[in-house]
């Protein structure tokens, strides 16, 4: 199976992480900074997909800002990774590495507890099932909190509970609504499925139903071409990246959703659909609207029982007429082409947030 890492790859990853942790620890010791180094994520738990992973290492110290600045000396080939956390990103020996700097107690404790918990809780067979699940959702473009999809830790916990990928998929496919999945290392409530957006949840359920019908899939990381194929009858807007993947995704998604709500309030007969995909350099926003055209005018009415409202209505619309229990008027619409209105509103809002448009591909289904 192409998604299962070979024993050689597993050994290479572990050797690299051990050498890297020792290198970091020695460097900060020489610079008089006490640190605790901990690797987290899929490489720490042995649940990574073959050739498709990042190395995540936490540097816990009482001097995170100074430690971060010194990391620029130790790894000069790196760059700041924008987001909520203080992260220095670099590539070393072909491995992508994120160094996360934080004070002890100021970082989510679950992140640090997950590696040890799941290393003990998952059997070797279950870890292979987790890798299979990750490969499946990566293939379908549904993996990762940064794109509103399912996370690795959620799949690890689901596999711990249900035993294998098929049972996990069946559980997800048969849920009437997105369930609450408690983080097993925390006592307080924390939903491991919280990252999944409504659109992704529907796509996850559909993908699982398709898998259960065939029991097969060909692993291939989801690409920009796949996104374009999925939304071949949509308009695809492209913008340059600005921050990290999660921020760019959620910004674009928020812009598309807010634009749709605004336009629906103006013209309730129109409906709007969107999705977002983020590559290394671009933010793609797929947009669609119904119907293709609205009439030039529409009838608006107010009930006669609202006397003050009727008076105001007649002042604004001197051509108003009575119709049964209502006072009505025929007025021009705010827009007659919902798709064009949607595209322009999204473009305007993205520009306001500092995103530069690359180009727009117009396709009408």
pLDDT > 50? residue 363: no
Q: CATH 1.10.1410.30 occupies which residues in the chain? A: 123-214
pLDDT recorded at residue 260: 98
Is residue 197 very low, low, confident or very high in pLDDT (cuts 50, 70, 90)? very high
* pLDDT, tens digit (0-9, with 9 covering 90-100), for 227-277: 999 999 999 999 999 988 889 999 999 999 999 999 999 999 999 999 999
Written in H, E and C, the secondary structure of the chain is CCCCCCHHHHHHHHHHHHHHHHHHHHHHHHCCCCCEEEEECHHHHCCCECCECCEEEEEECCCHHHHHHHHHHHCCCCEEECCCCEEEEEEECCEEEEEEEECCCCCCHHHHHHHHHHHHHCCHHHHHHHHHHHHHHHHCCCECHHHCCECHHHHHHHHHHHCCHHHHHHHHHHCCCCCCCECCCCCCCCECCCCCCHHHHHHHHHHHHHHHHHCCCCCCCCCHHHHHHHCCCCEEEEEECCCCHHHHHHHHHHHHHHHHHHHHHHCCCCEEEEEEEECCCEEEEEEEEECCCCCCEEEEEEECCCHHHHHHHHHHCCCCEEECCEEEEEEECCCCCHHHHHHHHHHHHHHHCCCCEEEEECCCC
Fold of 226-293+335-361: Alpha-Beta Plaits (3.30.70)
* pLDDT, tens digit (0-9, with 9 covering 90-100), for 90-147: 999 999 999 999 998 876 767 889 999 999 999 999 999 999 999 999 999 999 998 9
CATH superfamily of this structure's domain 123-214: CCA tRNA nucleotidyltransferase, domain 2 (1.10.1410.30)
Q: Which residue has the higher pLDDT, 362 or 359?
A: 359
Q: CATH 3.30.70.600 occupies which residues in the chain? A: 226-293+335-361
pLDDT recorded at residue 365: 41
Fold of 7-107: Beta Polymerase; domain 2 (3.30.460)
């Amino acid at each position: 199976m192409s998604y299962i890492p070979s024993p050689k790859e597993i050994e290479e990853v572990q050797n690299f992480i051990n050498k890297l942790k020792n290198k970091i620890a020695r460097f900060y010791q020489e610079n008089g900074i006490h640190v605790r180094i901990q690797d987290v994520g899929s490489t720490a738990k042995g649940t990574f997909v073959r050739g498709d992973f990042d190395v995540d290492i936490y540097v816990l110290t009482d001097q995170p800002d100074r430690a971060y600045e010194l990391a620029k000396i130790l790894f000069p080939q790196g760059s700041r990774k924008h987001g909520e956390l203080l992260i220095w990103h670099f590539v070393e020996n072909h491995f992508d590495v994120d160094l996360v700097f934080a004070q002890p107690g100021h970082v989510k404790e679950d992140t640090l507890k997950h590696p040890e918990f799941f290393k003990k809780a998952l059997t070797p067979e279950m870890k292979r099932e987790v890798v299979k699940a990750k490969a499946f959702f990566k293939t379908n473009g549904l993996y990762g909190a940064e794109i509103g999809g399912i996370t690795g830790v959620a799949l690890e916990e689901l596999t711990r509970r249900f035993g294998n990928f098929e049972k996990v998929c069946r559980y997800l496919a048969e849920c009437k609504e997105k369930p609450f999945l408690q983080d097993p290392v925390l006592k307080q409530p924390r939903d491991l499925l919280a990252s999944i957006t409504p659109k992704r949840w529907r796509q996850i359920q559909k993908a699982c139903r398709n898998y259960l019908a065939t029991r097969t899939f060909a692993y291939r990381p989801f690409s920009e071409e796949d996104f374009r194929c999925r939304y071949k009858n949509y308009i695809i807007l492209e913008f340059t990246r600005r921050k990290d993947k999660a921020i760019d995704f959620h910004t674009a998604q928020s812009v598309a959703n807010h634009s749709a709500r605004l336009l629906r309030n103006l013209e309730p007969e129109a409906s709007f659909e969107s999705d977002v995909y983020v590559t290394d350099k671009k933010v793609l926003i797929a947009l669609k609207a119904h119907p293709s055209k609205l009439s030039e005018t529409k009838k608006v009415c107010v009930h006669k029982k609202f006397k003050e409202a009727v008076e105001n209505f007649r002042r604004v619309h001197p051509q108003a007429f009575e119709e049964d229990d209502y006072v009505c008027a025929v007025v021009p619409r705010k827009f007659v082409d919902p798709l064009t209105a949607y595209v322009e509103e999204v473009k305007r809002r993205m520009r306001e947030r500092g995103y530069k448009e690359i180009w727009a591909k117009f396709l009408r289904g």
